[in-house]
A and B are shown apart, each in its own frame.
Chain A
């Protein structure tokens, strides 16, 4: 998926100029004259969104929260014709990457957009990783999951065998198969993967 910057501004002249500037810096750009059109024509792009704070109809802050609730959240860079403290605080609290006051220099905008795109890439990778770990957990047998849960709790094979009412040797076999299926070769790697899915919405098996 290619990184794409979506720009939303009700002022046609500003919208076109920002589109050109971002394209000249090598970004793929999509421009929208209003929040409504952006929400209607949205594709699950990678990248970030540049939003004008004051727009008639659905305003910038409302669009930001709508975007955060969507199934494909992306980092937001705000641009505004006035440096009003209340709205910039609201925007930053809601997770905006930056808040730029017009007129701004290209370096300012490009730096903000780059860092937003970077943030999106990191977040996307984290999401993908947790999705794949989730998939691997789902492939485990019930017994292997029981072993997994006890291994990350720091229990020894002997203790696990006692808890599960089985031989230590059998636990060793389950454990080795579980480690292979999870794609990790150390206890540390296993704990990392486990923690990653704990912190995402991906469905970790019990």
Chain B
């Protein structure tokens, strides 16, 4: 039984966040800060534990020092665990010896507190190497089993036995075990996630959060505090209150779990736990009226029953958000990669596109130089030369500007786009290639197309891919028979863009394979073009399909939905 009459404040979560950083780096000078923080934190946590003691019979409802120690071990490398445990000793002595407990009991409790932290930390470390992060359902489950269930349970037998041995406590051995298990489990559930999640978030995580998120968190905590105060800390309700009122804070907890992640949820849970215990300790709220043992048990069971699912929910949602983010990031990377690979294929044509204006600039300048040297200066011609040099330079700049946009790896940015304009830009990029391959483009653009909503670079990539495919399909055709027809037209509630070549076409059985990743008929192709193009178009809410008459060429069509009004 932990019964410590004294007052204090709990550890600040932000201190824990900062404190974890040196532990993750290469060691040695880094042990000073964690040792100091554990010592100070342990002392303050013990004072807080004393404050949460039910009178007149001193029953502890929440004993946070063990949880703080356990969280510190979980974040620290195993080789400095002994330092952290040693750091807790002076804090333990300082806090406990003020309360008139016999020295033997104080030392015995130090041993059992350390045993709880060690059991939990060792079990977790054996399953999860490195600092524990509550970022996956698996880790959260391991944490609950090892730190909230096993560690308090196992250490409580030792604790109760020591209490019995020294003769400090009263009551049944198993009753002592039970009280201590609940009190420590609740502390583990409240304090350890708080430290672990904030340590993982750190100051950078906080700074990255958008301003609106702060406002939302402020509203949430204000609402949660109001609901908790109303139900648990004001004299409005007592033990006869309808049990449904207990759940007034739950909507706010759910809100935190869905919107603020594990750190926000752990903070919200801690707030509710503190408010509930504070009310019970002061004889307010629904957890009053019974014996201290019953009151403590009911309250602890209630808080544990609420906290466990909330924490798991927050972690599960976080895990899903992260996997969605990772998948999106990978898609962006793959899209970019295949775009760069395609630009590599176009490099000959791009060099051609840059060589043309460079040739014009050089020849114009050298002609002017000769006219001047020959004193054969026609001012009008000189003006034309300069105009042409400027035009050529701007053209080269335009080629580079377009390329840079395609080479850049950026977030997808949706904006209203004109399909005809997109086709024009794409033809500008491949112009050199078309000339070199002797492909003639016939453009049939419909006037006044509705704007489509999309990412300019990604849609250009899709069209570039279709144009390059068409050119390659016609590589074997006679010089006169390399015509690429590009048609745009308004269709239903969107825009259809078609690319028809005069190549050999394809067989029906090839059709589905073409859209599979790594399917290629080219010597240097990655085989990602069509599959990525299709996924881009699908992400835009559109369709990409092909049709062919063998021997008469293939057509590929993109449908993009029109931008929704308003």
Mark A residues whose CB is within 8 Å of B.
10-11, 13-14, 16-18, 20-21, 23-25, 54-57, 59, 62, 79, 81-82, 84, 101-106, 109
B388 lies within 8 A of A106 (CB): no
A126–B357 CA distance with the chains assembled, in angstroms: 40
Query: Known contacts A13-B356, A82-B352; can you find 16 more A-B pairs with CB under 8 A?
Result: A10-B435, A11-B360, A16-B384, A17-B388, A20-B364, A20-B367, A21-B363, A24-B376, A54-B436, A56-B438, A81-B355, A81-B436, A102-B359, A103-B358, A103-B362, A104-B359
B322 at the interface (CB under 8 A from A): no
B432 lies within 8 A of A13 (CB): no
- Interface core residue of A55, A81, A103 (most chain B CB under 10 Å): A81
> In the complex, what residue of chain A is closest to B441 when comparing beta carbons?
A56
B424 at the interface (CB under 8 A from A): no
A54 lies within 8 A of B435 (CB): yes
B352 lies within 8 A of A17 (CB): no
B358 lies within 8 A of A102 (CB): yes
A14–B432 CA distance with the chains assembled, in angstroms: 14
Contacts of A103 in B (CB 8 A): 355, 358-359, 361-363
- Closest CB of chain B to A100's CB: distance in Å? 10
- Closest CB of chain A to B50's CB: distance in Å? 83
The 5 closest A-B pairs by CB, nearest first: A24-B370, A81-B352, A17-B363, A20-B367, A13-B360
Contacts of A20 in B (CB 8 A): 363-364, 367-368, 381, 385
Contacts of B381 in A (CB 8 A): 20
Contacts of A56 in B (CB 8 A): 435, 438, 440
Q: Would you give 23 A-B contacts (Cβ < 8 Å), ordered by A? A: A11-B356, A11-B360, A13-B360, A13-B388, A16-B360, A16-B364, A17-B362, A20-B363, A21-B370, A24-B366, A24-B374, A25-B370, A54-B435, A54-B438, A79-B359, A81-B351, A81-B356, A81-B432, A81-B436, A82-B351, A84-B348, A103-B362, A106-B370
A55–B436 CA distance with the chains assembled, in angstroms: 8
Contact partner of B356 (CB less than 8 A), chosen from A21, A62, A102, A106, is A102
A189–B436 CA distance with the chains assembled, in angstroms: 52
B395 at the interface (CB under 8 A from A): yes
Interface range on chain B (Cβ under 8 Å from partner): 20 to 34
Contact partner of B367 (CB less than 8 A), chosen from A23, A57, A82, is A23
- Closest CB of chain B to A61's CB: distance in Å? 9
B435 lies within 8 A of A55 (CB): yes
Contacts of B363 in A (CB 8 A): 14, 17-18, 20-21, 103, 106, 109
Contacts of A25 in B (CB 8 A): 370
Assuming the contacts A21-B370, A103-B362, asked whether A13 and B391 have C-beta atoms less than 8 A apart, the reply is yes
A18–B432 CA distance with the chains assembled, in angstroms: 19
B385 lies within 8 A of A82 (CB): no
- Closest CB of chain B to A81's CB: distance in Å? 4
> In the complex, what residue of chain B is closest to A11 when comparing beta carbons?
B356
Contacts of A23 in B (CB 8 A): 367
Assuming the contacts A24-B371, A24-B374, asked whether A82 and B360 have C-beta atoms less than 8 A apart, the reply is no
Contacts of B436 in A (CB 8 A): 54, 81-82, 84
Contact partner of A17 (CB less than 8 A), chosen from B351, B353, B359, B440, is B359
B367 lies within 8 A of A21 (CB): yes
Assuming the contacts A21-B366, A59-B479, asked whether A14 and B435 have C-beta atoms less than 8 A apart, the reply is no
Contacts of A109 in B (CB 8 A): 363
A39–B432 CA distance with the chains assembled, in angstroms: 24
- Interface core residue of A102, A105, A109 (most chain B CB under 10 Å): A102
Contacts of B366 in A (CB 8 A): 21, 24, 105-106
A79–B359 CA distance with the chains assembled, in angstroms: 10
B360 lies within 8 A of A17 (CB): yes
Contacts of B364 in A (CB 8 A): 16-17, 20-21
A57–B355 CA distance with the chains assembled, in angstroms: 21
B392 at the interface (CB under 8 A from A): yes
Contacts of B376 in A (CB 8 A): 24
- Closest CB of chain B to A85's CB: distance in Å? 12
Assuming the contacts A24-B374, A25-B370, A103-B355, asked whether A57 and B440 have C-beta atoms less than 8 A apart, the reply is yes
A55–B368 CA distance with the chains assembled, in angstroms: 27
Chain B, 324-363, contact with A by CB distance < 8 Å: what is the 0/1 string? 0000000000000000000000001001110111111111
Contacts of A13 in B (CB 8 A): 356-357, 360, 388, 391-392, 395
A106–B440 CA distance with the chains assembled, in angstroms: 31
- Complex interface residues of chain B between 450 and 465 (CB less than 8 A to chain A): none
